[in-house]
Each structure stands twice: as C-alpha cells, then as structure tokens.
Structure 1
C-alpha cells in the first residue's frame, strides 16, 4: 500500500505541479546570503537491521549460491505485456527456478518419505528388528562406536540448536518489525504532509527574498554619492591631492619666506647701524690712545718699550667686518609682499573644494536615473511575485492531502488485522521452534544421562537406571522427530518457495534498480508510449523521463521540478530570464550622463602668483656673503682682553698723565664692549664671553656663537629659496599634468566607475535570480519523502521486516529439520549402548573365549536371559 501511495504521489505531483517551480540554492555575495530553510523529516533514509544483519547476509549468500541466475527481465516484461505463454516459456522459468525447484522437490520427498519411513521403522521395531531386539552383541570396537555415536550426535544437535536459534531470532525480529509498522507508516505520512505543507512556504520564502535584495539595492542607490561619486573621486585622488598639497606647501613657504626676509633685512639694518657706532667709538679710542702715546714720557726708557708695544696693537681696534657692503633685501621683500597680495591658500582651497564636490555633483546629476532604476526594480518585484501565482503549487499540492488521509486511514484500519494474523503466525512459529527444542531437549538429556550414567564395567543387562533413562530419552526424541519432522518440512518448503522468490524477484532487483529499469522499457506499460512516465505526466511519451531517474533523484533529495523535468510544462528559466529583468537597469547605467568638466585645481591668478614668487629674486641673493660677514666678529680683538692688557701695561708706568690717560682709555674700551659690542653680539647671536687672551681664541668663540638666530635665519632663507625656480616649475608641471588628466580622462573614469557601480547593483539581482532559479529547480519540494515512503514499503516493510526474517526462519528451521535425519540414525545407534538389555552374550570364566554352540556349522555364544523391567 505504501508503495502504491508513493507512486501515486510521485505521479500526481508530476501532473499537477508541472506549472510550478521548485528551488533553493545560494551563492555567496556581498549582499545577503540566500539559503533555503532546511526541512527536517522523521523517517530515516536508511535501515540498519543491527546484529541480525549478519544472519540475513548468510541466507542471501545461500540463496545466491542456490539461484545464481540473472534476473529474468524478459519473462517479467512478457508478463507485464500479457504476452507470457507458459507452454512455450516454461523452460525459461524452470531454468531460472531450477535451484528452488530442486530444493522444493527434495523437501516434498522428505515430507512424503519421512512418515513412511517412520511407520516402517516403528513396525520393524515392534517385530524386534531394526534394533528393536533388546539384546546387544559384544564387539571389540564397541567403546569406540559408543563414543563416536555420542560425539556425532552431540555435533549434530549443536547444528540443530543453531538452526533453532535462527528460528527464534527470526520469529522475534519479524514480530518486532510488524509492531513497528504503525510507527513507520505514521512517520512516512507525517513526512509526506510536511513535504506538501512546506512546499508553498518554501516558494513564498524564495520569492520573498527579493525584498531583501531590493532593499540592499535601494540602499546603494541612495548612497550613490559615496559609492559612485566617491569611486570617481578616489580614482582622481592620487593625481590631484599631491599637487594641491605641494601648492599649499608653497603658499606656506611664501609666507615663511616673507617673515625670514623681513627678519634678515631688519637684522642687517641694525647690524649696519650698530657696526657704524662701534667703528666710530673704536676710532675715537684709537685717536685718544695715539695722542696719549705722544706724551714725552714715552721717549724715556724703559717707558719707550711699553709705549711701542701699545702703539703696535692699536691697529687691532680697526673695523673687522664689511656689513655696510651687504646689499639690502628690500627689493626681494617688496616682490614677496606683492606675491602675498594674492591669497594662494584660498585659491588652493577653492581648487580642493572643486575636486571634493565631485560626489555631490554625481548625486545631483543622477537623481532621475536613480528614480527610474527604483521603478524598474519595483516592476521586477511584481513580475517575480507573479511566478508564485503562475505556479499555484499550493492549490495543486492540496489535492493530495485527501489521498494521503485515505491511505493512512486504510492502513490504520488494516494494521490491527495484520497484527492479529501476525500473532497467529508468531504463535505457530513459536510452536515449531519449541517442538524442535523439545526434540533437542530429549537428545541432550539422553546424551547427558547416557554419558554420565554409563558404567563401562556393567554388563548390558545390568546397566544403571540413569544410563537406561538416557537411552529412553534418545528414543523419545527419535519418535517425536518421526512424528513431526515432515510437518516442519512442509512449513519450511512453503516459506522457502515464497521467501526465496520474493527475495530474488522483488527485493534484490529493487535494491539494484532492475525493477525500475524493466518498468522503463520503452512501450512496455503502454504500447503507444515510448516512456510511460512522461506520457502520464506531460502526455508527451517522447520525453526521456524514467522511473529509475525519478527514484534516484528523489533519493538524493532533489526538487520535484528537476526530478520530473517540469521545464517541459513550465520553463522557469524563461520566466526568470536574468537579461530580460536586468536589461532595463543595465541600459539605465549605460545611458547615465554624468558630466564633471568644471574642476579647476588652480586658476590663472594662482599660477601667476607662483611664477611671480619664482621671479621675486629671493633665490638670487648672495647668502654666502651674508653668512660670511655675520660669521666675522665685530672687532679684531677681544676688547676686554685688550683693555686688561692695556691697563696692566699702564700700571707698569710711573704715575703721571700717560698712566692716567691709558687707564682711562682702558676703562672706555670696557664701556664700549659692554655698551656696544655685547648688544651687537646679541643682535648677531654670538657669545660675548671670549676666552682669555690669545688672538685665535676670540675668533673661534665668535664663529661658534654665530650658529644661532641671525645665522640660522639666513640659512633657513637660503634653504627655502634654493632651487625655487625649479620647484615652481615642477609644481606647475604637476599641476598641468593633473589638470590634463582630469580633462582628458574624467570621462573614461566616469564610465569605468559607472560600470562597476552598475555591475554591483545588477550583481545583487543576478545572484538572487540565479538563486531563485536553482532553488525552484533543485531544492523546493525536494521529493525525498516519496523515495523514503517507497523504500519503507518495499525495502523496509516487505523485504527487511518480512521476507528477510522469513528467509532466516526457514533457513534455520530447515537446517534443523534436515539434521534430524542423521540425528535419528545416531540416536537409535547410541541408545543401544545406554539402555538396559533383556539379554546379553555370556563368556566362560575358564576359557578366554566364549563357549560355542555349534549350530549348522556356525559358532555361537551362550545367551543369558534376564528379566528386566523396561
């Protein structure tokens, strides 16, 4: 019934869901990840029999050895086509069934002969024949035979016991599986309902994901300023920003140059004024000293030597610098001031603003385009929603709920009857197993009592009660075996023929899909249709739609659309044509007209400003001359040291006008030093603290002190003005290059970025539509529950739950029944050694050989009669 239901549902969905589309597949993207929610089913897609599976494999191996012939496809095709003629095709059936036929015939012979043999054996025993005579002849190998018979019977009993265990296990497994049938059926029906109920919601989910995609696209369209405009801006940025930065740095350099020029010019003016005052003061001191040295005392030795020494140092009070010769920087300063009348920084900011306004310009120029694209996307959404209406899968699937409910009700009504019949079967099988178990109990008790109760010193007529009981048990087992073994064989033959054929003709070809291949034979089920399934579904029998392919696809959990090739009824690819839906959007981006042609990085005033600065003459000043003059000390000698030396020499002179005049001039020199030299040194930024005397020391101290403010100001100005013309030329060249790049390449950049931006927007929908197509064709309405229901009906219920345990049952019981034959023989032979005999062979004590009665030329033994109660 479940098999029928599975095919009904499969065919029904084919016919009625053809206008629908299934699906669900996802592609990774920058946008939302699309993934169809997983559907969980209860029924397992595979059956594991557990440890008993090993026994099933043994029986299957036995059947394969017994019937290794290939599946009779031709015969089955003839039967389906009603062309089978037993009179002409019987040889093929016999050839295929030869193994089962032989075993069945042997079983029937067993059934017929065993009662006859048992009847004859009983009559024979009653006539004191066939071992019925209660007399045991003594044999030299009697001990060996007794042990041989006992071991053989024990081994045979073990084999029989194994078969009985197989029977018990198979009987219990079959009963357990029948009890689980209701649970298995309910699980399959719930899975089928889940398939029918969730398929519409799956389609709605797939189509509903368009909203997520559209919202992402709308967000990017609203953000076109940063995405598209920003992209264009970033493409131009490496060319533009460095140039603007250089111009901005040059504007700052102009201001710094003006400050440096002003500082140096002021310093130079102060230096000239201070140097002139210092020279005037030194000249006056030098004149006073010369007048003092004209004193008559200088002609009197030894004063003459001192006066001469002083007179020789007077040239050290001359001017040491040529500051007056340094040119003024007023012209350069005026030129720079003229340059600064134009605010280059503001011009740079203006150009920068013009460049940074590109995203805003793009947004303003694409407002209408964005609006059109949004309208197009909304229309695409309406078209996609119409797919659900065209498919109308929910209405078509709902018609299968009634058949499912009907079949489920039918199964629930019949299951109690099945379980009742199975209880009878279970009881009958249990009786069979227990009957064999009873026989084995007699045999085991017979062996146990016989082996442990046997006394090898006792004569046959004097054997113990336990040993005798063992023999009686063995004969009881023999009697029950004769009474019932033929009945057991009837059961074995019947279950063997049925179970073996179902296993070979249904279960095995179902597992290797040969049954499907036979059903897929062209013109088999309908002589006018090449492919029956496609004829049923589409009324187009030429479409290659096979049962095997449908089952395999459902087994792999593929969607109904791909499984049943529903594109022959409703081609989802045509209705979800990506180019058709995205063509309008693509053309909108291709026709997008964004113009950016008013970007001026630096206007003519700015360029003239840079050129004026390069020709201001700042870079043509002889800064080395400035640095050389400033590096010189204002005096040739350290005035403090000179004053001290002058005062020392004056102190060596006798009191008088000369001494006072020299002392006064020394003091004047100190005053000049403190009042003029030190301020001048601070102005020129050198240290006024000369090292003590020596003529070299003051020069070194002065040179070291000159590495400060004024010196550094001039050096800084020199560095800024160095190569000024080249710098300006390079900046203007870079500016021209950037401006040319913007002018000549802005269009291609706009096209490039527009294409990239358009591809990004279109990519969302291409990925979505591709996912919709894959989802509807491959994942929605995945038909695994149908394949599982079919497997549950055939593979699990029929084969694994009924046929395999049935085969194991006849295999075990049959083996046990067949081994009863040698067990009867060995039990009868062995019972003679355990039972107490009525008579025995007697030996004379005086002779080593028994006494002989010669009768008709034969040698005999004396028979000693004993009365025994048996």
Structure 2
C-alpha cells in the first residue's frame, strides 16, 4: 500500500502539482491591498508517534549499531544503471550489509542448531543421561546454586516479558493500520480536491483584481480635478493665498477706517454742539444761584458764611471749551469714500475664484487625454486574461483531475484487501506473542510453585507436590522452547532482513533526502536524458530540475510555476512586462500639455485702490491732540457732587425761600449732568476708541501697502512664470500614481503566478504521508519493533532453557537420594548452610554403591 502511494505521489511530482494554502498580502499604492484566497488543508505537516515512539527510537539505535554504514548512493546508482561489477559492486554490497548478514547467519545457525540440540537433548534425557536420571547429588553449594538459578531465570523471564510486551505493542499498532492509513489517505485526497477546486478560484481572483485596480485608476482619473488640479493648487497656494488674505484684510481695514472716521466725525460734532449748549446752561445756573444769594437772609450772621461758601464755589461751574474747537476729519473721510467706490472685496474674491478654478480648468483641459488613458488601461485586462490562459497550470490541473480520480478509486478498491491482510498480520503476531507468553508463563509457574513449595528440610525423594509441579512446569517450558523457538527465529530473521533494509535504504534516506540525490543522478532513469524531470515536464533534459529541488520547494510551499521552472515553457515575466503595458500610459501623460492662463490675482483697479488708501491722509492726523482732549471731562467739576453739596448747604439755611431756590438750582445741575454731560462723555469715549483704531490703521500704512503690492507682484510673477513647470511636475507625479497601481498589480500577479498559485506543498505532504508516515511509521517501525521484541525473547530463551533445566532438579521429586549415618552425621541444616567439614566416614551408605564412590571422588 505504502509503495503504491509513494509511486503515485512521485508521479504526481513529475507530471502534476498541487496548490498551497497560505495567503499573499501585498500593499499597493492608494491603499489597495491584494490578498490571495487562502486554502485550508486537513493533513498535518508532521507526525507524532506518541509514547511508543521511544521504543521505535530504541530499535533505530540498535539498527545503527548493526548497520552503521552510510547510505550506499553510488552503489545504488550503478545497480539502477545496470553497471554492477561482480568483483567490485557485490563486495561493496556485502560490505554495506555485513551487519545484517552476520545477524542473519546467527539467526540461521540458531534455526539449524536449536531443533538439533533439542532432539539430542530429549533423546539423551530419555536414556537417563544429561540429567535425565531422577537422582540429585547433595552438595554443600546446593542452596546457593538453587537461589542463583532461580534468580537468574526470574531476571531472564522478566526480560523476555519485556520483549513480548514490545511485540504486543507493535502488533497492536497493526489493528489501527488500515483505519489510520484510510484516514490519512482520505485527508490527502480531500486536500487535493480542495486544491483542484480552489486553484481556479485563485486564478479568477487574480484576474478580478485587475478590475479593482482599474476602478481605482478610473476613480483617480475621474477625480483629476481634485487630484492633479488639487496638487497644482496646493503647489501655488503658499505663494498666492497669503497675499490674497493680506489684500482681503486691507479691504476690511478700509471699511473699518471709514467707519472709524464717520464715528469720529459724529463724536466731534456732538462734542462741538454739546460744549456750547453746556456752557450756556452752566452760565444760566450760575446766574440763578447769584440771584438767590442776593437775598437779605444771606446778610444775617447765621447764613452769611454758608452763602459765601456757595458763592466762592460758583467758579467751578465751567465747561471745557476746547472740546468744541477740535478739527473735523471730513477730508480723510471723503478720501476713504472715494476709495470705497471701487469694491476691493469683490476684486479679491475674483482673485480667489480665479485661483480656486484651477482644478476645474485642469479637468476641462484633460478630458481627451483621460479618455485615451482609460482606453489603454482597458486593453491591459485582455492581455492579462490571455496570459493566464496560456500558463500551463490549467492544463496540468486538468490532467491531475483524472489521475487523482483513478488513484482514489484504486485506493478504495484496495481497502478490503488491506483490511484482510492486516487482520492476518495481527492474528499471526498474536499467535506468536501467545506462544512466547505461554512458555514464559510455564517458567513463571515453575518458579512460583518451586519457590513456594520448596521445603529445605525435605530430602530430594520426599519433596512436596507443589515443588515437584514447579519442576514439571519448568521442564514443560523447556520443551516448548525447543519445539517453537526455532520457528519463531525464522520469522524474526525474515522480518529483520526486510525491516532493516527498508529502514536503512528507504526511510532514513527519505528523511535526509539522500534518496532524491540518487534519483537526481544525470542519465540515471533515462540514458538519453541528463535530468529526468526536466525531460518529462519541460521537454528539455538539459535544464537542471531535480527531485530534491522540487521536493524542497514544495515543502517551502512554493508554486508550481517556480518549482517546476515552467518559465522555460512560458515566461510570465516577459508577457507581464511592466514597461510593455505601462509604456503607453507613460507616453500619454508625458504628452499631456495644457496651460492655465488668465489667473489674475488682483487687477489694476484693485492695485490703484490700495495705493490710494496708502495716501488717503489718515496717517497725517494729529492723534495726540485728539487723545489729549478725549481724556478731559466736559466740565471742570462733577455736577452731581456739586449739586449734592449745594443742596446740603441749602438745608442749613433757615430762609425757606432761599432754601427752595438753591435746591431748584441743584436739581437743574443734576439734569444738565444727565442730559448733556453723560452723552458728551459717551462721545468722548467713542472718539477715543476711533482715534486708537485709526492710529493703529495708519501706523506704517504706506510701508504695509507697499509690501502687499510687492508680494502681490511676486506671487503674480510666480504663477505666471512657474505654473508650466508645476503642471509638468504634478502631471508626471499623477501619471506615476496611476501607473503605480498597475505596476504593483502586475508585480503581484507575477509573484502570485510564479510563487503562490498552485503551490505544491500538499504534494510534499502527501509524499511524506505515503513514505514517511504510512510506510515507515505505520508499517516499518511496528514491524521492526515486533521482530526486535520477539528476537530478544527468543534469544533469551536459550539462557532460560539452561537455567530452567538446572533449576528443575532442585524442585522435582527424585527417585533416589544420598543417605547419611545418624551416629556421626553432620546435621542436614549445616549441610544446607554450606558446612564442608564432613568426612567420608560420616556416610552410612547409599542405595547405589557406584554413586557413593562417585560422590567421594568428587
């Protein structure tokens, strides 16, 4: 079975391959990500024998001692090529197999001598020779010898039991051989089915990714306004936008200046009018108070001092006459109004608009070019589709389908035969183990009965039945050993020769790939082909395509294209040449020639507007004078405090008329403060605020305008002079981006076809399963462990026979025995304890005078 699978999978390596199951992930420009569809396989890459693997390794160590020679690669090459020389090559074969031959000769000697020795031993004992006479001479060393024989036999039986246990374990492996083989084979077949089903999907996926790439490129081309135009816009933005922002800020400043001037003029007008009215009203209040103080009551001693205090404070009721004399700013306001007749805001907005229309202009200018590029990109899809159909992977898969179906049918038809053979093997091994177990059981029973039934005070002729039965069990084991062990040795010798040679000539060379080096010998399999695989697959035997390289590449999960060097049949790299397919695109973008004219950031009217603002005169205003007056109060005294003080003094007067008159004047002052002073103070605050705004606006105004105009001129020149080079550079970068999608896609296609599609890892796994697992681990390892255990047990049976024969006389009941004098007899206990101080005079007599003489002679 394993040989059939091995040949099958080697042929699969030669003519057909399988796909791998790992994903390929490639990052592409524009965040595209290509990931090949993943295949999931059931078959494990490695095999674990479990606890019994330690026993397999023990047998391997034994075989390394028996057969320490290296793999005879050169000799096998010569044998395959039929160039073997009887005087040289056969000597090498014998030299390589010397360990096996010696062990086989020893086994043959065992097979020949064991029945012969057993025959003569039986015949000799039947003639009361060779210990056949039921008489045991009693010696002082007898107890020690009995214990030594019993202990040695027990140790040997334990070792034999271990050998039988090894054989039982190895034979038990056979019971699961068919199931394990079927499960493993079905797993491999299922993986191959998965490969056959998924590989076309992988190819279709690769082709489908072209549409993904094309759609991404088309999306970029459709958004050429935001991508290419946006990049051009971005290149110009650092030069243009700051200038336009400054101009826009200046337009806002002009409006703010107008507003500040208007507010300033209004405040000055309010202050001028209010100052005159305030002065008149304060004069009227002073006159009213003077008239009230002319009352006769003020002449009295009590009121005179109060009236004098009021009269002396009237000088404080004066207004700030300078507020009405501040000059107006009508001329500056008129200049600013003239400037505002030109809408600078709208002119700046037009500059922004002209600049922001760059992407739209790019799209309008490149409409025809984008259409041409799309046609070129569409043509690449048909080329890739034709390339995928011409690659020999599809033909290989088609051939493999029928081949796989036939192989699977053959395997399943062979399963009943395999199960039947496995049952015979298991039954035969069980019988062998049972025979050895039976022999060892007799030895164990003999030891058990002999040790338990032995009575050290009993004479040889008076031993008990249990002890006697122990001796009989031992001799029964001896008889069965002579009867069956030579037959078992025949089985051991045959399986040893077969198992050892398969292990050394197939399993180990397969594990270290030495066997592939033999198969890769030039002109080995076909005398006309240097390399067999390349001759069969590539029709060119001179190309170096080796079994070892194919197997190693498959173990590394490489694709069929690279593994079998199919580039010698169809070179994908040439047909997927990036330059061949992207050259047209490059030329289309290089020929992309368009201009972006009429980008005017600010026209002459806007420039004149700025220049006029710089000379509008707001920087000539004497802001210090205005601020000095704005900090002053409209009146010299706080009218509210003055009125309160006046009312308090009036309350101290006794004249009711005078008192009411002064209180009326105090109330008038409060009304003047509320109605005139407070509005004037508000106007002063507004005036102060406007002055500060104008002062800030006018600070360095000509220099600022000059700088803005300079930057505007620089930006306009930059746009006019450099936009062509920027367009060329950004167009080239945009073209590189579009081409980059297809360059990366074509590279990924080439990599996937050559390295990943139809990766042949399942072939290596299947070959490992057939040879490494089924043949070597399921068949050869259990076979070697079986003969190792049986051989160990059979060899140890020789020693067991010797010790069992020696020990049996100490347990069996004898027909005659040695007799001692009771008068001068050394106690039997001392005899058993090894006391050697006896003399021949102690002997009374024996049943057999000859034996008595023999005893004294010893």
How high is the TM-score relative to the length of structure 2? 0.89
Query: Which of 680, 683, 705 is equivalent to 1:684?
Result: 680
Matched, 1:600 2:600: yes
Q: Kindly provide the CA deviation profile for residues 29-70 of structure 1, in whole angstroms up to 9, marking residues without a partner as x.
A: 344421221223333332222222111111111010111111
Q: Kindly provide the CA deviation profile for residues 680-735 of structure 1, in whole angstroms up to 9, marking residues without a partner as x.
A: 3223226xxxxxxxxxxxxxxxxxxx984443343333333333334333433443
Query: Which of 821, 838, 842 is equivalent to 1:844?
Result: 821
Matched, 1:775 2:737: no
Residues 529, 316 of structure 1: alpha-carbon distance in 2 compared, 3 angstrom cutoff: same
SS of residue matched to 2:247: helix
Aligned-residue Cα RMSD (Å) equals 3.5
CA distance in 1, matches of 2:277, 2:418: 137
Deviates more, 1:561-570 or 1:713-722: 713-722
Matched, 1:863 2:846: yes
CA distance in 2, matches of 1:433, 1:117: 24
CA distance in 2, matches of 1:292, 1:403: 138
1:85 maps to 85
CA contact (8 A) 2:317 2:636 kept: yes
CA distance in 1, matches of 2:129, 2:640: 167
1:589 maps to 589
Matched, 1:74 2:77: no
Q: Kindly provide the CA deviation profile for residues 271-291 of structure 1, in whole angstroms up to 9, marking residues without a partner as x.
A: 222222333455677789999
SS of residue matched to 1:34: strand
Q: Kindly provide the CA deviation profile for residues 312-370 of structure 1, in whole angstroms up to 9, marking residues without a partner as x.
A: 76654555331243211111111111111111211122111112212211111111121
Matched, 1:784 2:767: no
Deviates more, 1:646-655 or 1:502-511: 646-655
How far residue 260 of structure 1 moved from its aligned partner, in angstroms, is 1.9
1:754 maps to 731
CA distance in 1, matches of 2:666, 2:810: 159
Residues 833, 671 of structure 1: alpha-carbon distance in 2 compared, 3 angstrom cutoff: closer
CA distance in 2, matches of 1:648, 1:769: 104
SS of residue matched to 1:526: coil
How far residue 793 of structure 1 moved from its aligned partner, in angstroms, is 2.6
Deviates more, 1:100-109 or 1:604-613: 604-613
SS of residue matched to 1:782: coil
Residues 220, 436 of structure 1: alpha-carbon distance in 2 compared, 3 angstrom cutoff: same
Runs of 5+ consecutive residues of structure 2 not aligned to the other structure: 829-839, 849-858
Runs of 5+ consecutive residues of structure 1 not aligned to the other structure: 687-705, 852-856, 866-870
The correspondence of residues 483-632 of structure 1 with structure 2, limited to 5 A, is 483-632=483-632
CA contact (8 A) 1:22 1:559 kept: no
The correspondence of residues 332-481 of structure 1 with structure 2, limited to 5 A, is 332-391=332-391, 393-481=393-481
1:695 maps to none
SS of residue matched to 1:322: helix
The correspondence of residues 179-194 of structure 1 with structure 2, limited to 5 A, is 179-194=179-194
Matched, 1:810 2:787: yes
CA contact (8 A) 1:516 1:547 kept: yes
CA contact (8 A) 1:248 1:348 kept: yes
Residues 766, 198 of structure 1: alpha-carbon distance in 2 compared, 3 angstrom cutoff: same
1:5 maps to 8
Residues 685, 298 of structure 1: alpha-carbon distance in 2 compared, 3 angstrom cutoff: closer
1:721 maps to 698
CA distance in 1, matches of 2:446, 2:558: 64
SS of residue matched to 2:818: strand
How far residue 197 of structure 1 moved from its aligned partner, in angstroms, is 4.0
CA distance in 1, matches of 2:293, 2:752: 121
Matched, 1:161 2:165: no
How far residue 621 of structure 1 moved from its aligned partner, in angstroms, is 1.4
CA contact (8 A) 2:174 2:425 kept: no
CA contact (8 A) 1:23 1:559 kept: no
How far residue 639 of structure 1 moved from its aligned partner, in angstroms, is 5.4
How far residue 572 of structure 1 moved from its aligned partner, in angstroms, is 0.5
CA contact (8 A) 1:31 1:764 kept: no
Residues 418, 87 of structure 1: alpha-carbon distance in 2 compared, 3 angstrom cutoff: farther
SS of residue matched to 1:235: helix
Deviates more, 1:615-624 or 1:438-447: 615-624
Query: Which of 765, 790, 793 is equivalent to 2:770?
Result: 793
1:56 maps to 56
Residues 301, 85 of structure 1: alpha-carbon distance in 2 compared, 3 angstrom cutoff: closer
CA contact (8 A) 1:5 1:404 kept: no
CA distance in 2, matches of 1:278, 1:88: 144
Residues 707, 822 of structure 1: alpha-carbon distance in 2 compared, 3 angstrom cutoff: farther
CA distance in 2, matches of 1:580, 1:670: 105
CA contact (8 A) 1:267 1:710 kept: yes
How high is the TM-score relative to the length of structure 1? 0.88
2:25 maps to 26
CA distance in 1, matches of 2:441, 2:424: 25
Q: Kindly provide the CA deviation profile for residues 423-454 of structure 1, in whole angstroms up to 9, marking residues without a partner as x.
A: 33332222211111110110011111111111
CA distance in 2, matches of 1:111, 1:200: 62
CA contact (8 A) 1:21 1:391 kept: no
CA distance in 1, matches of 2:715, 2:603: 13
Q: Kindly provide the CA deviation profile for residues 69-94 of structure 1, in whole angstroms up to 9, marking residues without a partner as x.
A: 11111210110110012233222112
The correspondence of residues 170-209 of structure 1 with structure 2, limited to 5 A, is 170-209=170-209
Residues 58, 295 of structure 1: alpha-carbon distance in 2 compared, 3 angstrom cutoff: closer
Residues 457, 649 of structure 1: alpha-carbon distance in 2 compared, 3 angstrom cutoff: closer
CA contact (8 A) 2:251 2:345 kept: yes
Deviates more, 1:286-295 or 1:489-498: 286-295
CA contact (8 A) 1:228 1:754 kept: yes
CA distance in 2, matches of 1:650, 1:148: 152
Matched, 1:244 2:244: yes
Residues 639, 98 of structure 1: alpha-carbon distance in 2 compared, 3 angstrom cutoff: closer
Residues 633, 40 of structure 1: alpha-carbon distance in 2 compared, 3 angstrom cutoff: closer
Deviates more, 1:206-215 or 1:532-541: 532-541
